[in-house]
Amino acid sequence: MDIKLIKQVVDLMKRSDISEFEFEEDGFKLRLSSQSAQAPQAPQVIQAAPAHQAVAPAPAAAAEPAAAPPAEEKGILVIKSPMVGTFYRASSPESPAFVDVGAKVTADSVVCIIEAMKVMNEIQAELGGIITEVLVENGDAVEYGQPLFKVKTA
């Protein structure tokens, strides 16, 4: 199982009411559990080993520090990633990018797609203005809350 996929599941558990997750494939078994759905905490890896081996519970991985936010600029807002996944600027490799620098966006304008767990999620600007900078490269992995675009407002 890909570590990137495990990180996505952990993030999903943090943001939802999921308190347990279990997965088994080709003799590999993974079980994640958080202590309480009402008080979300970092999920703990209970078992992550080939199904025929027993393993003692492992402590949860320490949360990685978030990237430093870009310097505040007057009249500039940032569109942030609402989830963990893979960032795509267009709906397919042959299609033009949803937005480029200089593009005018409204609150319901689709600015990119983030693929998470094999689901393509269209991300809307949720604000109006002009795109001044694209902060992520096409195909890059993004984290929850990571800045994606800078937008100049009024």
pLDDT tens by residue, 3-46: 777 777 777 777 777 777 777 776 667 777 776 544 445 555 54
Which pTM was predicted?
A: 0.53
Alpha-helix residue ranges (DSSP H) falling in the chain: 3-15
Contact 79, 148 (CB under 8 A): yes
CA-to-CA distance for 47 and 54, rounded, in angstroms?
8
The per-residue pLDDT for 72 is 61
Contact 130, 99 (CB under 8 A): no
**Cβ burial 37-59 (10 Å sphere, 16+ → b, else e):** eeebeebbbbbbeeeeeeeeeee
The larger pLDDT score, comparing residue 137 to residue 1, is at: 137
Domain limits, the chain: 3-50, 76-152
Residue 28 vs residues 9, 31, 45, 70, 87: alpha-carbon distances, Å = 16, 10, 14, 40, 28
Does residue 64 register a pLDDT over 60? no
CATH of 76-152 among 2.40.50.100, 3.40.640.10, 2.40.110.10, 2.40.30.10 = 2.40.50.100
Report pLDDT digits (tens) over 70-124: 456 788 999 999 999 999 999 988 999 999 999 999 999 999 999 998 899 999 9
CA-to-CA distance for 47 and 75, rounded, in angstroms?
48
Report pLDDT digits (tens) over 112-142: 999 998 899 999 999 999 999 999 999 999 9
